[in-house]
Structures are given as C-alpha cells and as structure tokens.
Amino acid sequence: MSQRIHRVDITDRARMVLRQMIEQHGAVLFHQPGGGCDGDAPVCLPVREFRVGRGDVLLGNLPWHTQFWMSSEQYELWKHTHLTVDVVNSRHAPEATEGVCFTLRSRLLTDEEAEALADAPPRTGADRLA
C-alpha cells in the first residue's frame, strides 16, 4: 500500500507551537503570500481574520484542520517543491509568544511525488467559493 503524498508537512516543534496558537486564538490557517522579502515566512492567522482569495491555492492540511494556502503567483514558483512548516527563534514575529516564529523549509519534489501530485491538482479559493 502506497503512502499518501503531501505538498506540505510540519515539524514536531512547529506542531507544538501551532497547538498553542489554536488553544489561544481558535482555528488558524497559514497563508504564503506572493512577493515581498519574507519568502520563507508564512503568515499564520485566525481563520476569522483572513479571506481566502479566488486565486489562492490550497497546498494541504496540517494538524487540527489547519489549512495551508498560497497565492497563485507563489504557487507557480513553488509547485515543484515540498514545504515543511518549522519554527525558528525570534522575539519580533507576531506568533512569537513562545519566542519563535514560523518559517518554511523546502526541497524539490521527487519524480514519484510530482507524478502522483499531477494526478490530483490542488484546490483553489475559487473551488472553495463554488
């Protein structure tokens, strides 16, 4: 039996921080915006504070029904990449309640992963609104 292939995962340490954020703020989501100089810093916001755009791409779900969205422009640049949500030490990030902020680690998809994911293109914000 083959293992399900994901575009996005999370480290154990980031999972603990995510859980604390959910306990403190309720349901959250991640969004990787396009442009800017913080290309490796996803935004983590309460679900009620972010409206997914029609062109946003759903990369996947993390624990506790936490969705990870990316702007379509970023997706075009990163569609051959597997992302892992991690945390790094920081005193200045919005989610730095534990002295850390979220960041992304990336690697190219293997040929096998890319082939499997090509058979199931990701959903977009337009699908969600339909």
Q: 9-64: per-residue pLDDT in tens?
A: 999 999 999 999 999 989 999 999 876 555 568 989 999 999 999 999 999 999 99
Provide, rounded to the nearest whole percent, the portion of the chain with pLDDT above 90: 63
pLDDT at residue number 1: 35
Confidence check: pLDDT of 83 > 80? yes
Please compute the mean of the pLDDT values over residues 116-130 and round it to a whole number.
Answer: 83
C-alpha radius of gyration, the chain, whole number: 14
Of 109, 108, 82, nearest to 8 by C-alpha is 82
| pLDDT-derived band at 4, boundaries 50, 70, 90 | confident
Angle at 48 (CA atoms; ends 38, 91), nearest 5 degrees? 40
Q: 89-99: per-residue pLDDT in tens?
A: 876 655 545 67
